[in-house]
Amino acid sequence: MQNLRKLTVATLLAGAVIIGIAATNPPEEPHYKNLKILPKSTTHEQMEQIMTGFKNALGVRCDFCHAPSKDSTVHHPDFASDEKPEKNIARSMMKMTGKINKKFFSYNKNDQGDRIPTVTCITCHHGSPHPGEKQ
């Protein structure tokens, strides 16, 4: 009877440890490849927000900047590829707007002290892929 009680307690403790380990999985690391301008720590939610901003500001879809996947079984662009020149143009534009905002609008900060960009893609693009073009 004593051995059964010890076995039951040991089994319950082992189960609790296993459940505790399973419940404390480390947070998923960002899995983006080839980030050259955006921080390596960019989360999925942040990336979705940034890319949605680009799509809205330029009136384009993902394939405007991102090359198609070479794997025909994959039904989304190859986001890591630098094959399309538009992707590097976008990087240059991000650097440019960052410099403009830092130089001329560094006083625009939110309550946490983070800089609030004043010049963004929509400032010049107005929903068009090329500034100055009418839609």
For residue 90, tell me if it sits in a domain.
yes
For residue 54, tell me if it sits in a domain.
yes
- State the SS3 of the chain: CHHHHHHHHHHHHHHHHHHHHHHCCCCCCCCCCCCCCCCCCCCHHHHHHHHHHHHHHHCCCHHHCCECCCCCCCCCCECCCCCCHHHHHHHHHHHHHHHHHHHHCCCCECCCCCECCCCCHHHHHCCCCCCCCCC
For residue 26, tell me if it sits in a domain.
no
> Considering its fold, how many domains does the chain have in total?
1
Q: Is the pTM of this model over 0.85?
A: no
| One pLDDT digit (tens) per residue for the chain, 135 residues | 777 777 776 777 776 667 767 677 666 665 788 999 999 999 999 999 999 999 999 999 999 999 999 988 988 999 999 999 999 999 999 999 989 988 888 777 778 877 777 899 999 999 999 988 766
The boundaries of the domain holding residue 116 are 44-125
pLDDT at position 18 is 76
pLDDT at position 132 is 81
